[in-house]
């Protein structure tokens, strides 16, 4: 019998404001330390990916949203999407007001808004693909 592959479960969230900007965090930890990424992280024991998305957003950016406002935007499971091993991410999208000011926390060293037309090059992981799927379908 083969050894089963270990798969880790994560949630990512695409936050768009009324001005069509995207909220990104600068990662404080490897992998991709110093790169811009979507807020997100591991789904903890006993929680759903929806709960994890809302929790991670609050922890990493100080932005609180109602889970009922989050819309599922896709499941991302390409085997090499994370250099640490096999990670499967449920991605969600939410739109919030342009007056919301994020504050970096947890493993984020910075949190800020970027224009959809001027996103940083080389987003961490496959986050450019997640943004494209969430915004443009």
Q: What is the DSSP letter of 112?
A: E
Predicted confidence at residue 1, as pLDDT, reads 65
Between the alpha carbon of residue 104 and those of residues 28, 35, 48, 115, 117, the distances in Å are 10, 14, 23, 18, 23
Question: In the annotation, is 71 catalytic?
Answer: no
Provide the whole-model pTM: 0.94
Residue 2, domain member (yes or no):
no
Structural domain count of the chain = 1
Cα 15–Cα 30–Cα 96 angle in degrees, nearest 5: 10
Report the CATH number that the domain containing residue 92 is assigned in CATH.
Answer: 3.90.79.10
pLDDT tens sequence for the chain (137 residues): 688 899 999 999 999 999 999 999 999 999 999 999 999 999 999 999 999 999 999 999 999 999 999 999 999 999 999 999 999 999 999 999 999 999 999 889 999 999 999 999 999 999 999 999 999 98
Residue 118, domain member (yes or no):
yes
Q: Which structural domain range is residue 46 located in?
A: 7-136
CA dist 105 and 91 (Å) reads 20
Catalytic residue from among 47, 59, 110, 128: 110
């Amino acid at each position: 019998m083969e050894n089963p592959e270990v798969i880790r479960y994560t949630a990512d969230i695409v936050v768009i404001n009324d001005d069509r900007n995207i909220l990104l965090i600068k990662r404080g930890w490897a992998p991709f330390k110093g790169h811009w990424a979507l807020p997100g992280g591991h789904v903890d024991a006993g929680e759903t990916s929806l709960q994890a998305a809302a929790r991670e957003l609050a922890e990493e950016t100080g932005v609180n949203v109602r889970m009922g406002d989050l819309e599922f935007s896709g499941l991302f499971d390409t085997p090499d999407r994370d250099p640490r091993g096999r990670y499967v991410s449920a991605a969600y999208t939410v739109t919030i007001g342009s007056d919301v000011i994020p504050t970096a926390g947890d493993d984020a060293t910075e949190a800020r808004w970027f224009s959809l037309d001027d996103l940083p090059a080389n987003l961490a992981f496959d986050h450019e693909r997640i943004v494209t799927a969430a915004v443009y379908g």
